Structure 1
């Protein structure tokens, strides 16, 4: 029987039983068990992992564990460059396109507000989320850790918060998205690009108060929605600025 000692760091401990959080613990491993197999058997989705050190050396998911190995497992380090250590993937997880599961519609709209291409449908199922993540290189956003364990998914983020604004802040901070944001460039409803439109072209769609007070508008060629800098825009602007996004 092979045994190995594990230590998980930072938010990865959220997936562990309380007795195993922030401490070393030794567990038996099957013969020919890989680091990925054991990490997921212990409850941590592999998509949450950025760096694995086995006996102090950077290793990949397919490393076969030997008796007495000491394994340190770290989450995503999006705020600094880990490429010299990275062996899990070819490059750090810094993808800025997303696919959200059926329970994260509010988060999807907020990410679109920030300019991040985010696929979402309230009827989307887990196999479709997984397929889109793999086929299109999208970060899978979910509150279902089992989804992130599906074979093939390499880019994923387990969302811990319950409310959309808190989820937005969590994802922004964990993935260091502020510098990549392009606010108000995508339609919140359908994820299509927005473009400027003359007031005269949309005047018949505007409430009287908006026609009187606003002169700059954006429209979506997909759903034909019209957007302007009203009270809803100001609330979204405040949320973005709270995450370090500069808006002119």
Structure 2
């Protein structure tokens, strides 16, 4: 016998539906499915669900659906006022570390520029991303909703925009990272840490023009890329200021 319940997705969770639908959605089911399974079947990954109210009472993901349930689902940044909640998204780490899927190389470089630990490899599989995220306590960033539905992933975010700079602002806002910038601490190429290096130690690697006009240098401890404060540095500084003001 089939039963039905009604689901309402609030705030940014409406992004997972055509035309950002925030109208109640009927859900037909048999047996007693968990509310987590129902939510993900409807297209919303568990990692973006912070609060669930069933018939106006808070529940967690293990709740089993009953006929005619009225379900209200909220993201972390859009909660109903004057209520006591069971928060389903655990507190983010004080120093968040990220892992990005294969389509987000440009975003990884931007996060690294701001000093965030952002793992990225072109050949990562979804399984590898999930395993690394679990083992290293990393937040998954992706445009792949199915990836975020993997049970082992505790923290994650589905990027709405396809444009790297807009994606960066999404991440900064969602994870509240405005006070956590450490510009130029990470290598944009490999995610390693950058350290000051004496010019005499790397002078044999410099182009003649660079050797002539610059004295202050930095080097990645992992891939050994060399950095200096040329015109590219001023452009990046300007971009970082924009991120600070827009996030």
**TM-score, with length taken from structure 1:** 0.88
Aligned-pair distance for 1:232? Answer: 1.9
Aligned to 2:44: 44
Counterpart-to-counterpart distance in 2, 1:194 and 1:49: 36
Looking at structure 1, the residues matched to 40 and 94 of structure 2 have their Cα atoms a distance apart, in angstroms, of 22
Residues 76 and 93 in structure 1, CA contact (< 8 A), matched pair in contact too: no
Aligned match of 1:87:
87
Structure 2 counterpart of 1:132: 132
Q: Is the 8 A contact 1:112 1:186 kept in 2?
A: yes
Q: What is the RMSD of the two structures over their aligned residues, measured on CA atoms? A: 2.6
CA distance in 2, matches of 1:120, 1:234: 26
How do 1:165-204 and structure 2 match up within 5 A? 165-204=165-204
* 8 Å CA contact retained: 1:59, 1:87: no
Equivalent residue of 1:146, what SS?
helix
> Does the alignment pair 1:107 with 2:113?
no
Q: Hey, what does 2:12 align to over in structure 1?
A: 11
2:148 maps to: 148
Corresponding residue of 2:27: 27
Shift of 1:143: 0.9
Number of matched pairs: 243
Displacement of 1:129 after TM fit?
A: 0.8
Question: Residue 81 of structure 2 aligns with which residue?
Answer: none
Q: Any unmatched runs of 5+ in structure 2?
A: 79-83
Pick closer, same or farther for the CA change 1:27–1:64 going to 2, 3 Å: same
Tell me the distance in 2 between the aligned counterparts of 1:233 and 1:107: 18
Between the aligned partners of 1:180 and 1:226, the Cα distance in structure 2 is 24
Q: Which digits, 9 at most, give the CA deviation of each residue in 1:53-109, with x for residues without a partner? A: 22233321111222232211112329xxxxx62431443577611111111111111
Secondary structure of 2:23's aligned partner: coil
Is the alpha carbon distance of 1:106 and 1:230 closer, same or farther for their aligned partners in structure 2, counting shifts above 3 Å?
same
User: What is the CA–CA distance in structure 1 between the aligned matches of 2:163 and 2:18, rounded to whole Å?
Assistant: 25
User: In structure 1, how many angstroms separate the alpha carbons of the residues matched to 2:136 and 2:55?
Assistant: 35
- Distance in 2, matches of 1:185 and 1:92, equals 21
Cα 1:94–1:21 shift into 2, 3 Å: farther
